[in-house]
Amino acid sequence: MSADIFRKPDPQKMNWPTTVVMGLFHVGAIAALFMFNWRAVAMAIFLYWVSTGWGISLGYHRLHTHRSYKAPLWLEHFFAVCGTLTLEGGPISWVATHRVHHQKSDQPGDPHSPRDGGWWAHAGWIIFGETKHNATRLMSRYAPDLAKDPFYVYLNNYHWVPMVALGLALLAIGGLPMMLWGICFRVVFGLHATWLVNSATHMWGGRRFQTRDDSRNNWWVALITFGEGWHNNHHAHPTSARHGLAWYEFDPSWITLKLLKRLGIAKSIQVATIHSELEREVAA
């Protein structure tokens, strides 16, 4: 499948709408530091777990993109809504971008490769790239499975609605400090954590598997991304629901998934091990 729509953007042409929004969120994150209170911080931590842990790691990435396990449709939809709370777009656009990343990893056509520069892989591709968050029909070429579901199409078109609703709710519950911490600070931290998977884990860390890309296992990125930092493991076995393959590779999303399996919610979990090929673990 062609990845021509992800050609490298012109670094001389800044995407001003995206840049302004990102700038405002960063200003809000800094402002939150001057309105510190433990209740607001606790809310931000909880929402970070919900949005980045459930929404991105368990949802957009391991479930929607790679289908590394099966879950009831209601949980798929719930994780997708959680994913929209990260300011990383809707499920169709996120999944499409990540699938192309795997097809073209660290090659021409990769949306975000450090071979084009570390800053480029981290945020440059967002700041200078074309906004495709609402290009649902175009991005559906790379996520046709999601495009068949009207819920995902609607959510991709209106991915900003859950964030706005949450912001208003936090403002009503705890005022401006709660909103700044629960929205701005949490979103900015989550964005940079996710972007570090694109940048840092293709530059620094160990390589257990000799993959065709530059992916690496990075423990400190894994700590702040619920296990997504074990990136070389992931690129070697993209459909494995478990990213931390050794006992010392902390993978909170895998721990959560094992709990969901025990509860009979997650099934047909695909698991890779260090010394064997990908295996399918069928839940009882």
Write a three-state SS string for 70-127.
Answer: ECCHHHHHHHHHHHHCCCCCCHHHHHHHHHHHHHCCCCCCCCCCHHHCHHHHHHHHHH
At residue 14, the pLDDT reads 87
Q: How confident is the model at residue 1 (pLDDT cuts 50, 70, 90)?
A: very low
Question: Vertex 182, ends 159 and 258: CA angle to 5°?
Answer: 75
% of the chain with per-residue pLDDT over 70: 92
Using one digit for the tens of pLDDT, what is the confidence trace for 61-91?
999 999 999 999 999 999 999 999 999 999 9
Whether the per-residue pLDDT at 19 is higher than 90: the answer is yes
CA distance 234 to 223: 15
Q: How confident is the model at residue 6 (pLDDT cuts 50, 70, 90)?
A: low
Comparing 137 with 283, the larger pLDDT belongs to 137
Quick check: 150 and 15 in contact, CB under 8 A? no
Whether the per-residue pLDDT at 226 is higher than 90: the answer is yes
At residue 135, the pLDDT reads 80
Using one digit for the tens of pLDDT, what is the confidence trace for 28-62?
999 999 999 999 999 999 999 999 999 999 999 99
Q: Which amino acid is at 156?
A: N
The Cα-based distances of 81 to 66, 89, 159, 203, 251 in angstroms read 18, 10, 8, 31, 22
The average pLDDT across 145-174 equals 97
Whether the per-residue pLDDT at 137 is higher than 50: the answer is yes
Q: How confident is the model at residue 282 (pLDDT cuts 50, 70, 90)?
A: very low
Whether the per-residue pLDDT at 5 is higher than 80: the answer is no
Whether the per-residue pLDDT at 4 is higher than 60: the answer is no
Comparing 14 with 224, the larger pLDDT belongs to 224
Q: How confident is the model at residue 131 (pLDDT cuts 50, 70, 90)?
A: low
At residue 104, the pLDDT reads 95
Comparing 6 with 167, the larger pLDDT belongs to 167
Q: How confident is the model at residue 280 (pLDDT cuts 50, 70, 90)?
A: very low
Name the token pair of 242: 């478990």
At residue 208, the pLDDT reads 96
CA distance 32 to 180: 5
Q: How confident is the model at residue 279 (pLDDT cuts 50, 70, 90)?
A: very low
% of the chain with per-residue pLDDT over 90: 86
At residue 274, the pLDDT reads 84
Question: Vertex 185, ends 181 and 188: CA angle to 5°?
Answer: 155
CA atoms within 13 Å, Cβ hemisphere of 262: 6
Contacts of 38 (CB under 8 A, 6+ apart): none
Is 209 exposed, middle or buried, given 0-12, 13-18 or 19+ CB atoms closer than 10 A? Answer: middle
At residue 12, the pLDDT reads 67
The average pLDDT across 193-201 equals 98
At residue 281, the pLDDT reads 40
Is 284 exposed, middle or buried, given 0-12, 13-18 or 19+ CB atoms closer than 10 A? Answer: exposed
Tokens 């990383």 label which residue? 88
pTM of the model: 0.93
